[in-house]
Amino acid sequence: MADPFGTAIVRCLARIPRGRVTTCGAIARALGDVRAARAVAAWILDHPTRNGHRVVRGDGTPIRRDAGARLRDDGVTLRGGRASGSRFADPLPAVGLLAALRAEQIRLAGQVLEADEPAPPETVAGVDASYAGDSAFAAAAVYGIDDLDLRETATVRMPVDFPYIPTYLGYRELPPIAAALARLSRRPDMVLIDGHGRLHPARFGVACFAGVQLGLRTIGVAKHPLAGSPRRQDRGRADAVPIDLDGQLAGFAWTPPQGTRPLYVSVGHRVSLESALDLVRRTTKERMPEPLKSADRIAREMKGKEKRERGSER
């Protein structure tokens, strides 16, 4: 389905009665997760559509600047630029898009394998994506694990139709990740994903998603925490703090050489947590694993080139 997120928002907008307003948070709850509120606001600003003028902020200020006249036609008078609280609609009926996606994440989480395979990996790829508008710029960089020599790179530019929503990153990033990896001449033995694996509320972050859906060995390497709580540091492992989730060890907060902030390492698929941490350590010279550092740089360069080319055409 093209733009399932936008389709779900349009369904919500159609249910706002004339003479009433609602908030982005209320629409996000109808979708299944209030964390989507910012994505709802961004979509409404980018897509002039029926009833978008009836969406306001929590203080009653319309999201769209052109909403005033249309709200007056609806019989809603703005006082001080705000709709009265008496004009707020009742909770919208559930549409359930995000609730369905969360249920899918929980179901697929049962397919994640957290054990090492007999053949040790010899190559590792880093995959990252940058975004500009509705375009994704993804890059994959493959390195030899023992020598840390760059073996191959692949890139892709493609449209995206799912917004950034915390804890649903896989639905945005999997298509460009898969496309970049598909352009490599050989499948890497292991893939580092710029995002979480098991350290996720559904225990199924983007690294798990990529591993299960693509049949790859994957490791999540994230820059910011998302779920779990740190355990007291183990002796002899001062640079890696265990992270517990639901009472179980689910990842490590590892501070790399010359780094001031930790990286959050967790299993994606078909690897043990200890091996995941070991491989991230082995492939990091400073701050970030070399494969992810290269993928990030290449993706950013692609995005920057696109912006410069667009600017030169004006």
Residues 146-199 pLDDT 10s: 999 999 999 999 999 899 999 999 999 999 999 999 999 999 999 999 999 999
**Residue 200 in tokens:** 């996720």
What pLDDT was estimated at residue 234? 52
Helical ranges in 126-183 per DSSP H: 169-182
Label residue 235 by pLDDT band (50, 70, 90).
Answer: low
Instruction: Check if the beta carbon of residue 264 is closer than 8 Å to that of residue 205.
Output: no
pTM of the model: 0.91
Q: For residue 314, what pLDDT is reported?
A: 56
Q: Which long-range contacts (CB under 8 A, 24 or more apart) does 38-42 make?
A: 39/5, 39/163, 39/164, 39/165, 40/9, 42/163
Residue 1 confidence (pLDDT): 44
Domain parsing of the chain, residue ranges: 4-95, 108-309
**Cα-flanking dihedrals φ and ψ of residue 90, to 5°?**
-65, 160
Q: Give the pair of three-digit tokens for residue 227.
A: 């779920």
Question: For 201-219, how does the pLDDT look when each residue is reduced to its tens digit (9 = 90+)?
Answer: 999 999 999 999 999 999 9
Neighbour-count burial for 117-146, b at 16+ CB within 10 Å, e otherwise: eeeebebbbbbbbbbeeeebbbbbbbbebe
Tokens of 240: 């890696």
Tell me, which fold does domain 4-95 have in CATH? Arc Repressor Mutant, subunit A (1.10.10)
Mean of pLDDT values over 231-243: 73
Query: Which residues touch 134 (CB under 8 Å, ≥6 apart)?
Result: 159, 160, 161
Given this structure, which CATH class describes domain 108-309?
alpha beta
Distance CA 4, CA 252 (A): 34
* Within this chain, domains 4-95 and 108-309 share the same CATH topology: no
Q: Which residues contact 183 (CB under 8 A, 6 or more apart)?
A: 140, 154, 155, 156
Residue partners of 41: CB distance under 8 A and separation at least 6: 24, 55, 63
Per-chain mean pLDDT for the chain: 93
Residue 7 has pLDDT above 70, yes or no: yes
Backbone angles phi, psi at 244, to 5 degrees: -95, 145
